[in-house]
Amino acid sequence: MRPMRKERFDIAVVGGGSAGVAAAVAAARLGAKVALIERYGFLGGAATHSFVMTYDGFLYRGDRPQWAVGGIGRELLGELDRFASKVEPVLSPNKNWVLPFNPESAKAALDSLVIRSAVSTRLHATVVEASVSGDRIVSLVAADHAGRFTIAADAFIDASGEGNLSALAGVPMAFAEEPRYAASLCVRIAGVPQDIAVDRAFLARICSAVPADETPAILRADGGFVLRLPENGDLWWMGVDILTDGVSSASLSEAEQKCRATAWAFVRQLRRVAGCERATLAGSGPQLGIRETRHPQARYMISDADALAGRRVDTPVARAVWPVERHDTPGKPTMVPIGGDGFFDIPAGSIRATRIDNLWLAGRTVGAERGAFSSLRVMGTGFATGQAAGTAAALALQGRPEYPALRATLLDQGAIL
Ligand SMILES: Cc1cc2nc3c(=O)[nH]c(=O)nc-3n(C[C@H](O)[C@H](O)[C@H](O)COP(=O)(O)OP(=O)(O)OC[C@H]3O[C@@H](n4cnc5c(N)ncnc54)[C@H](O)[C@@H]3O)c2cc1C
């Protein structure tokens, strides 16, 4: 048997979504030798693998755009402008600011960000094991087409969305018995002429006309969320929901197949509208959009009441502005805006896992009750919590684990606290 390949880093980040990229870049810029491990062949997470084409959570709710996230997330937006048309804030029908972008630009922009920051990226590598000694992770095992290899590091960041690293390391999971939020298929639809006004009412009429026996998943009765893409006039549409555990191959396979069949049934109905005869499903991501799976137990779990009241804390590392957007019932999302000054603080304790001392949490894995989670999971906030986790881990390795050092460093990097 060939010996296993071995690599050694200061910090290993699992997951190359918004949070993982920001974590890796932040840590590398503080001098750490960083590995960023991602199972797909590109970075971006849901932005690129699930066709989630608007960055939310960057701007406060309100009549004019005002930034709530700075630092690496904002830098990425600037980088995106180099590849496609400028990323501009758009006010959504429910009065939230969203930033539409082209996922292909996001792949390239994220590449250039990590390359410029000297992050060692390991694409096409899935982390499948964690070796734990006492209260520390010592190394990971990842698998690629060449086989398995180990990555040893002094600190680790779980930016896997699904809490995969935390689960492998034996971190307890919160809310494990509760049902998960619905997943959704996001698609690009081409061939709907620009002079046809496409809004929710238009889409709802089509959804209601689709024969029920052609929709094994759930078509949103309200028509779902739609946006004309600025670059080519195609529609970005999110109108097919389904329940899945989000982690097992059997459940995910069934969900993918049912959602695809339902999206095609919708397009067939759309083609019956005068002018839309050439409408077609022009694309979907490599995977279904998974909102919620595991919740690793953090040292501080942000409560739903904290989120709804817009609570401030003494140790903030980021701000969450997106409404509490629950998807308890497939096809029927609900949204409640954040109270107080329109944001809640994400405290330093919520980016630290329990039980494992050298594990930080970023993006969807940040410690929160499910309502608070439904706000902070958006990608703008994910960049901010990722930057905080990467910075905290790098400072800890430098022997500077105290909050004032983290705060000062984040502010220095342009974070908004
Ligand atoms: C249908 C849907 C619509 C949404 N709409 C919006 C929206 O419009 N705007 C918005 O801002 N947010 C939206 N969100 C939320 C947002 O997309 C996610 O919550 C966000 O992407 C989370 O970022 P993350 O970096 O924590 O995780 P992710 O983006 O999920 O990235 C995690 C990464 O980790 C990788 N990974 C996982 N396990 C492993 C492993 N074991 N080894 C290696 N790599 C691994 C994955 O491949 C993935 O790339 C939506 C989500 C869904 C599902």
**Quick one: pLDDT at residue 283?**
94
Nearest CA to ligand 1 atom 4: 52
**Quick one: pLDDT at residue 84?**
78
pLDDT digits (tens, 9 = 90+) for 147-189: 999 999 999 999 999 999 999 999 999 999 999 999 999 999 9
The three state secondary structure string of 37-92 is: ECCCCCCECHHHHCCCCEEECCECCCCCCCECCCHHHHHHHHHHCCCCCCCCCEEC
Q: How far apart are CA 183 and CA 330, in angstroms?
A: 8
Task: Please determine, for residue 348, whether its predicted confidence score (pLDDT) is greater than 70.
Answer: yes
pLDDT digits (tens, 9 = 90+) for 186-220: 999 999 999 999 999 999 999 999 999 999 999 99
For the chain, the structural domain boundaries read: 5-176+292-412, 185-284
Nearest CA to ligand 1 atom 26: 363
Instruction: Write out the H or E segment, with its range, that includes residue 270.
Output: helix 249-270
Q: Are 229 and 192 in contact (CB under 8 A)?
A: no
**Quick one: pLDDT at residue 14?**
99
3 confidence band (pLDDT: 50, 70, 90): confident
55 lines ligand 1 (CB under 6 A): yes
Phi and psi, residue 314, nearest 5°: -80, -15
Ligand 1 mean position to 296 CA, how many Å? 16
**Quick one: pLDDT at residue 307?**
98
**Quick one: pLDDT at residue 94?**
80
Nearest CA to ligand 1 atom 45: 15
DSSP string, 137-204: EEEEEEEETTEEEEEE-SEEEE-SSS-HHHHHTT--BSSTTSPPPPEEEEEEEE---TTS---HHHHH
Q: How far apart are CA 3 and CA 335, in angstroms?
A: 52
**Quick one: pLDDT at residue 232?**
87
Strand, coil or helix: what is 237? strand
Ligand 1 mean position to 20 CA, how many Å? 10
Q: Which atom of ligand 1 is closest in space to residue 142's alpha carbon?
A: 42
Q: Which atom of ligand 1 is closest in space to residue 49's alpha carbon?
A: 49
What pTM did the predictor assign? Answer: 0.97
Q: Which atom of ligand 1 is closest in space to residue 289's alpha carbon?
A: 53
In this prediction, residues 352-360 reach a mean pLDDT of 98
Q: Are 395 and 405 in contact (CB under 8 A)?
A: yes
Ligand 1 mean position to 344 CA, how many Å? 21
Q: Which atom of ligand 1 is closest in space to residue 225's alpha carbon?
A: 8
**Class of the CATH domain delimited by 185-284:** alpha beta
**Quick one: pLDDT at residue 160?**
98
Ligand 1 mean position to 380 CA, how many Å? 11
Nearest CA to ligand 1 atom 48: 45
Q: What is the DSSP letter of 95?
A: S
**Quick one: pLDDT at residue 47?**
97
Task: Please determine, for residue 4, whether its predicted confidence score (pLDDT) is greater than 90.
Answer: no
Average pLDDT, the chain: 96
Residue of 82 and 298 predicted with greater confidence: 298
Q: How far apart are CA 45 and CA 325, in angstroms?
A: 20
Task: Please determine, for residue 1, whether its predicted confidence score (pLDDT) is greater than 80.
Answer: no
pLDDT digits (tens, 9 = 90+) for 270-304: 999 999 999 999 999 999 999 999 999 999 999 99
Q: At what angle do helices 200-209 and 249-270 cross, to 10 degrees?
A: 100
64 confidence band (pLDDT: 50, 70, 90): very high
pLDDT digits (tens, 9 = 90+) for 92-104: 878 899 999 999 9
126 lines ligand 1 (CB under 6 A): yes
Domain 5-176+292-412: CATH superfamily is FAD/NAD(P)-binding domain (3.50.50.60)
**Quick one: pLDDT at residue 229?**
87
Q: Which two structure tokens, joined as six digits, stand for 32?
A: 């750490």
